[in-house]
Amino acid sequence: MEYAKPLAAHRTAIDGLLLFDVPVHGDNRGWFKENWQREKMLAAGLADFGPVQNNISFNAATGTTRGIHAEPWDKYISVATGTVFGAWVDLREGPGFGTLVTAELDPATAVFVPAGVGNAFQTLADGTAYTYLVNAHWSPDAAYSFLNLADPTVNVPWPIPLAHAELSEKDKNHPFLADVTPVRGKKTLVLGAGGQLGRALADAYDGDPRVEFAPRRTLDLAGPDAFDAIDWTGYDTVINAAAYTSVDAAETPAGRAAAWAVNATAVAALARACTAHRITLVHLSSDYVFDGTVPVHGEDEPLSPLGVYGQAKAAGDTAAATVPRHYLVRTSWVIGDGNNFVKTMAGLAARGIRPAVVNDQHGRLTFATDLAHGIRHLLDANAPYGTYNLTNDGPAQTWADIAADVYELLGHPRTSVTGTSTAEYFAGKPDTAPRPRHSTLDLAKITATGFAPPPAARRLAEYLDSLNHNAGTGA
């Protein structure tokens, strides 16, 4: 054993399997080491995997051999006394299936084994104590996967031949690789699958079986036990595209209760579940969490909502931000598959109506397709957790500007649209929510991750073309 090696992580041929050099300090009395120290291990490259249980396997004799077991939790393994030959086989679904990594472990080494990777060891000294942290409590109902220690395809080079080693009868009879069902990875759950963003996410993931969609009709987010029936152990990511979005109705007594139930209380419950199960939460935020008194909003601007909808969304944002692994995606003026402002203006243009449209609210359109692809980019790129603004790019416009663009692109004069103030437009209409005058979001942070939102003007033209095409085909 080598003393005082610096703490260091080493990648291996198995994705996520890390070998560690662990500093051990010795003198005439013996030795001491920090077996696992969260802050230092994070800095060395180990994910904050959230251990909840510590197990020790004592092995009296040299040649004791255990495994190959793949469990549904992550493990951080080290040796307290003695030496082992470790063998790890990737049993997860994917191109790495069957990959073998081996290494000798003593008190100055450790290994992080991701869920679904088969783990085995053979002791090379009497009285070996093998210790490991796991990030889920042991359960008799947990789903395991096993591989035979003598599998000829993987061909583990055991230092002590298995015929002379100490094995359990169960380990002798585990299946060979050809008969092992690959361990499926955890899934992504999309809440609010029936909305404009939910439908765009379905297109973005294009039938990926690892992504499940829960429409609102099957999950009552306003209910007191909305998430009780969900088995969270099968998911590593939740995209919360569900929300109460009736901005004006939220100003009524019934709407106020519904807005807070869905946009705040349910999000707090979801955040607790994601934290408890180490799930990444993607939560959709809104420009309505700001009062709109500054022309462009950055991610770090303090929350300052004006109306009930914005207040409930701000409360939900605060809850979502407590999840260690979270992406808070703030957007505005979403246009997708469903009823929306652009479709309404196109319909008015087709009927020859000359509308008066608000001209003192400023912002950018967000096309649901680009919003969905931006969310997928954050996840696929493993972008740093935190808050990201995500809209389409281009100059800020008013609703009247956008309406005039719609008319012009459809062959009507821009002058068909006249401007009016927010106060004039809503005069005499009860239960009207206050609107932020400026909703433009700074896109520098999302762009720095490698995602460049397309210009809103280009997407508007393409969207109107799609509406014309669908109208022509009867779709």
Q: Which residues are catalytic?
A: 69, 132
Which tokens sit at 192? 């609010």
Residue 298 CA: distances (Å) to CA of 292, 365, 441, 445, 454: 12, 17, 6, 9, 19
Pairing of strands 84-90, 100-105: antiparallel
The answer to whether 79 and 159 have CB atoms below 8 angstroms apart is no
Q: How far apart are CA 335 and CA 91, in angstroms?
A: 42
Pairing of strands 117-123, 65-70: antiparallel
Q: Is the dihedral of CA 402, 403, 408, 410 positive or negative?
A: positive
Which tokens sit at 11? 């990648």
Could you say which DSSP state residue 311 is in?
H
Q: How far apart are CA 39 and CA 41, in angstroms?
A: 6
Q: How far apart are the first and last CA of the chain?
A: 71
- What is the residue type of 148? N
Q: How far apart are CA 412 and CA 460, in angstroms?
A: 15
- Give the distance, in angstroms, between the CA of residue 38 and the centroid of all CA atoms in the same chain: 22
Task: Give me the residues paired with residue 419 across strands.
Answer: 357
Q: How far apart are CA 231 and CA 132, in angstroms?
A: 26
